[in-house]
């Protein structure tokens, strides 16, 4: 048996961050990961997705270039070349993570781990390891629906293995993965149909964002079908067909992509042997310090079901290491103000509460909304005129800003700075007293009346 101060089960972003912060405090750390280092985000998530989004943004820029005086001739897009470059970049990141672990003296076990007791795990080779502290950071995986023919479709993981761009693709789902991949595929030339069970996309976001993004998707040529609950999928002579419970059918697709949510990777961990309790669907319950039901065992990231954001997993892991090994007893991640971006077309940046959530959380306080919409100056010379939408949600007589929501060009970059302001407790008057930078889209957030 090998003994350590900390065992980290999972080598994704959260697990890597926890291990590296703990070793800075002198802890002896072992990390288990049977697959590529970096987890979902690096290999089949944020990083390769952003590469694809960049390509899609370039396609849009080429369309606008003639309006700025450029004589542009655009040939066909080489999907295989893009895929090769993207995959090579990800492989370089895998290598960097491995070298960093070695440099910091972290023992990396390229195998899965399973609990055999409260303080003990065994890897797939039968070797046992012991530690007073164990962190579970195994992440999640894309879900698949249970209906006839569902296997004819793939998930976002499969998307990154596609050798060529499909001519016609149908996407099931209305969350951020669905809208992001729909936008990429449409911009690069595919005919795209999206079907969702509800009335709008991004139901967990402020209603304004979902409504306006759906308008933008349709304007770009994406067909969006609402209240469409799939009943069966079939392979026909003309391609893949999806039938809804109300009888509607969409047909003749080259690819079907499911983006209906994710499930935690906890089934093979042997949690019962360590007394670790799980909630419905296998998520591990934790308190604000990431403690599970068993002392000395913690969980971070997607396995907890708190929020599926890579930076949140990283922050939770680092704070956990600060507390357990750095002597910072009250260190923990607050999940109240988490900024996030949807790399849709156009992108969305958001931090804090939606208007509806603010009214529900503060029923006895005044909630005031400030909103603006305009055409970004980038489109001053172009034929298309997409609008940028912004909303501030304030609470109380002093108008504390509890929500900031942006959809439009550069929203992904704008929101980071305003997240700092909200985290510091900014009031609307603080926004009003901030000098505007002109001409920018961001200045609208400090000039709203």
Q: Report, as residue numbers or ranges, the catalytic residues.
A: 438
**Using CB atoms within 10 A of its CB, is residue 319 exposed (0-12), middle (13-18) or buried (19+)?**
buried
d(CA 229, CA 197): 5
Q: Three-class SS of residue 163? A: coil
Main-chain phi, psi angles of 372, to 5 degrees: -145, 150
Q: What is the DSSP letter of 288?
A: T
Token pair 């109300």 is found at 246
- The closest of 85, 108, 106 to 36, measured between CA atoms, is 108
Q: Which residues of 177-194 are buried (b: 16+ CB within 10 A; e: fewer)?
A: bbbbbbbbbbbbebbbbb
Dihedral in degrees, nearest 10, Cα atoms 402, 407, 411, 417? -10
Q: Which residues of 17-50 are buried (b: 16+ CB within 10 A; e: fewer)?
A: bbbbbbbeeebbbbbbbeebbbbbbbbbbbbbbe
Q: What is the DSSP letter of 93?
A: H
Main-chain phi, psi angles of 154, to 5 degrees: -125, -175
Main-chain phi, psi angles of 393, to 5 degrees: -110, 120
d(CA 149, CA 395): 48
Sign of CA dihedral 387, 193, 415, 94: negative
Main-chain phi, psi angles of 61, to 5 degrees: -60, -35
| Structure token digits, residue 48 | 């390769």
- Are 6 and 88 in contact by the 8 Å Cβ rule? The answer is no
d(CA 338, CA 4): 33
d(CA 449, CA 436): 14
- Are 185 and 169 in contact by the 8 Å Cβ rule? The answer is yes
Beta-carbon count within 10 A of 445 CB:
24
- The closest of 39, 269, 3, 240 to 140, measured between CA atoms, is 39
């Amino acid at each position: 048996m090998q003994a350590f101060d900390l065992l980290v089960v999972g080598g994704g972003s959260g697990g890597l961050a926890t291990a590296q912060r703990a070793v800075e405090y002198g802890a002896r750390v072992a990390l288990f990961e049977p697959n590529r280092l970096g987890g979902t985000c690096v290999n089949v998530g944020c990083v390769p997705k952003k590469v694809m989004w960049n390509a899609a943004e370039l396609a849009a820029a080429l369309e606008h270039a003639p309006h700025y005086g450029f004589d542009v001739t655009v040939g066909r897009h080489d999907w295989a070349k893009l895929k090769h470059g993207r995959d090579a970049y990800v492989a370089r990141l895998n290598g960097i993570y491995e070298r960093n672990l070695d440099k910091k003296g972290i023992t990396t076990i390229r195998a899965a781990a399973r609990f055999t007791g409260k303080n003990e795990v065994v890897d797939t080779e039968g070797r046992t390891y012991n530690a007073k502290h164990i962190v579970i950071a195994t992440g999640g995986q894309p879900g698949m629906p249970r209906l006839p023919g569902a296997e004819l479709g793939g998930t976002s993981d499969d998307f990154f293995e596609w050798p060529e761009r499909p001519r016609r693709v149908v996407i099931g789902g209305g969350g951020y993965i669905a809208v992001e991949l729909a936008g990429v595929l449409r911009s690069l030339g595919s005919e795209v149909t999206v079907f969702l069970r509800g009335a709008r996309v991004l139901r967990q976001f402020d209603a304004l964002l979902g409504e306006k993004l759906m308008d933008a998707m349709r304007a770009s040529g994406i067909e969006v079908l609402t209240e469409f609950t799939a009943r069966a999928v079939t392979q026909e002579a003309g391609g893949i067909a999806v039938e809804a419970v109300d009888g509607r059918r969409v047909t003749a697709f080259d690819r079907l992509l499911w983006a209906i949510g994710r499930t935690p990777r906890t089934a093979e961990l042997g949690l019962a042997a360590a007394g670790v309790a799980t909630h419905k669907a296998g998520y591990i319950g934790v308190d604000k310090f990431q403690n599970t039901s068993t002392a000395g065992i913690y969980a971070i990231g997607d396995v907890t079901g708190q929020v599926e954001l890579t930076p949140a997993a990283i922050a939770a892991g680092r704070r956990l290491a600060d507390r357990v090994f750095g002597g910072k007893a009250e260190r923990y991640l607050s999940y109240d103000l988490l900024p996030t971006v949807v790399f849709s077309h156009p992108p969305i940046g958001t931090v804090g509460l939606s208007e509806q959530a603010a009214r529900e959380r503060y029923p006895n306080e005044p909630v005031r909304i400030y909103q603006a919409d305009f055409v970004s100056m980038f489109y001053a010379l172009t034929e298309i005129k997409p609008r940028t939408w912004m909303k501030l949600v304030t609470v109380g007589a002093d108008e504390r800003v509890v929500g900031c929501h942006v959809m439009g060009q550069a929203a992904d970059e704008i929101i980071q700075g305003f997240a700092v302001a909200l985290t510091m407790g900014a009031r609307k008057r603080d926004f009003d007293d901030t000098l505007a930078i002109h001409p920018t889209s961001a200045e609208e957030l400090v000039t709203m009346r």
